[in-house]
Structure formats: structure tokens, C-alpha cells
A = this chain, B = another copy of it.
Amino acid sequence: MEKSGADIGEKYAGLSGFAPSLDLANEAHSLLRGKENKEIGGVSEQIEKYRHAKVVTITIKDEQGAKIMGKPVGRYITIEAPDIRFDKTLEAEISAILAERLRQLLPPLSNEAILLIGLGNDHATPDSLGPSVVDYTIATRHIKTYSPEIMENDLAPICVLAPGVLGITGIETAEIIKGVVAHVKPKCIIAVDSLAAASINRVSTSIQIADTGINPGSGVGNKRVPINEKTMGIPVFAIGVPTVVHTSVIIYEALSALAEFWEQSGQAVPQIEEKAVDFINGKMLSSFNGSMVVTPKEIDQLIQNIARIIAAGIAQAVHPRVNKNNYHLYIQ
């Protein structure tokens, strides 16, 4: 019997129970395929290469795939662009790729509004991706309503909301959104959120688009109540970027790498038992009650860069007039 993506600790004997659930379908799939690169039933993968990016589309085709992946049936498109971490001039290229992919998922352009939700906490940098994308985005729905002649066929009606997080507002996020959906009656939601990565290398360099909405997972801040077609009554497209890593994942990566080193060098690989892992976590994270989530020290700049790319991608995907050459005039 195969393991689900939420329980993938067996990569290395003795480390079971150690893996967090994975936010990126791409990472879950890769871990399940393992070193042998075996096929996973009910799941397909497609890879395309661009100049500065690789696009991996994971399609979970049926319930078998959903079960093993620990994620709903649907498409999960990940744009991997490691160079954006240091090269701001790739903004146009990567945002155009995001726009193209997003447009393929979105319903056809029309006069019905799109609701952009920026999940997360404006006052906690690694969790501020959603609110930042909202800040960069120019809402147009009210202009379309009050002065339609200004927009004609150039701009689509979009409205935005950054509902905050339970820990700051004392209000459940999904409930705020439901109230707005009931009033605005948008044709769909685009929800942007910060994710947790299973590898340090991915932080702030992968963008995942999913047509399945936001579903319970680890996320940044344990705030990921379901925001999907089932709870909202309209299609929900999720855009997520890993901005944090659990310290326990770093420890897991280190121990896995140690085992790999021993294996490669022909040494007898000693057993690393679950008890050992518990001991290590307990000792290192005592003053954090055993759980600590970290982010790169450059996180402010990383969030700013990638939030601009996402806002630029969304603007190009939803507005007829906006493209790769002029998008910078249509974001804040």
C-alpha cells in the first residue's frame, strides 16, 4: 500500500512521523516517486522549460491520486524560477508565464467581477505575501460600476480583500470572505497565500497555481481554513509561494543528507530512530514548545519581489489591455 503525501517520512528508515504535510504538490509528488522515480497511480506530471523557469504541472486525476497525494483532484502548476531570488529584471518574463498559466484556468473574460483575496498577516513579513499582492493590485470593480465608460473593454472588474488572520482580528477568515462573496457575487476567487516548503532551496522561488482552492495544510500560521468551491460556491484559484520552512524539516533534511553521505561512501548506515528525532527536536526547540518555523533573513525583499510578480501576472491574466510591456503601469 502506498503512502500519502501527508505521511511521507519513510524516505529514510527511522525518520517516519517526521515529515510535515507538504503544501507544494510538486514536492509531495517528487517525494512519493522516490529515488526510483516510480509512477504514482492517478497522478500525472508534465514539465516545460523556459529560459529562466521550469513549469511542472501535476494533475491529480482521480480519488486514488487524491488519497496518496493528500490533496484534492485538480491541477497544480508550479513555476520554479530560482533566479528571481537575486535578479529583479526577470519580473516581466516570469509574470508573463504566470499570466499565461492563470488565464488557462480562469473562466472566460466577462463583466462579472473577480474577487482577489490576500490571505495572511500584513504585520508578519513572511506571512504578508497575500496582503502585499492586494496592495500592488488596483481594484476596478467600483469604477466599472460607477463610470463604465472609463473601462469599456480595456479592464476587467476586480475587487480585493485582505481579511487578516484570526490571531490578529479575533474573527475566522473564511467567514469574512463568505460575507463578501454573498454580497459581491463574483464569478470566481483568486486567493493568494504563503506556504511552507519542504526544502530550503524552494523558499520564495516557486509559485504554485491550483484550481482546487485553499485546503487545510500546514501553511504559515496554521490559518488555512478551506476556501474552495465547496465552501464558497464559486471556483477558487489558489496562488501560493513557500516563504517559510519548519525547523524540523531542516533537521530532517540534515539527517537524510547524513544518511545519504554514509550510503554513498559505503559506510554502514546506523539506524536513526524516531526516539532520536524526538530527542533532537525537544532539545533544540525547547523554548518554542518543540515547534519553530523560520524564514530567510532577506524575507522583506523576497516578498516584495514575488508579490510584484504575482500582482503583475494577475493583472496581465485578467485585464485585456494589460501585457508584458505595460503591466508596470497597472500595478501600484
Contact = CB atoms under 8 A, between A and B. Distances in A.
Contact of A255 (B88, B126, B258): B258
Interface in A187-207: 199-201, 205
A286 B123 CA distance: 30
B200 A285 contact: yes
A201 B290 CA distance: 10
Interface string A147-175: 00000000001111110101111111001
Contacts of A143: 170
A126 B301 CA distance: 12
A13 interface: no
A161 B169 contact: yes
Contact of A123 (B123, B182, B279, B301): B301
A88 B329 contact: yes
A135 to B, nearest CB: 7
Interface residues of A, number: 90
Given A179-B178, A294-B297, A205 B287 contact: yes
Contact of A297 (B244, B260, B286): B244
A52 interface: no
- Chain A contact residues: helix, strand, loop or mixed: helix
Contact of A201 (B199, B285, B329): B285
Contact of A261 (B253, B279, B294): B279
B200 A288 contact: yes
A280 B295 contact: no
A254 B282 CA distance: 11
Contacts of A180: 171, 175-176, 179
A200 B281 CA distance: 11
Interface string A291-327: 0111111111100100000000000000000000110
A323 B13 CA distance: 57
A170 B82 contact: no
28 contacts: A124-B298, A125-B300, A142-B167, A143-B170, A161-B169, A161-B171, A162-B164, A175-B179, A175-B183, A178-B183, A179-B183, A200-B292, A201-B285, A201-B288, A221-B297, A244-B297, A245-B294, A250-B251, A251-B254, A257-B279, A257-B283, A262-B276, A292-B296, A294-B297, A295-B295, A299-B299, A325-B325, A328-B328
Given A254-B284, A293-B297, 5 more contacts: A125-B300, A159-B169, A201-B285, A250-B254, A261-B280
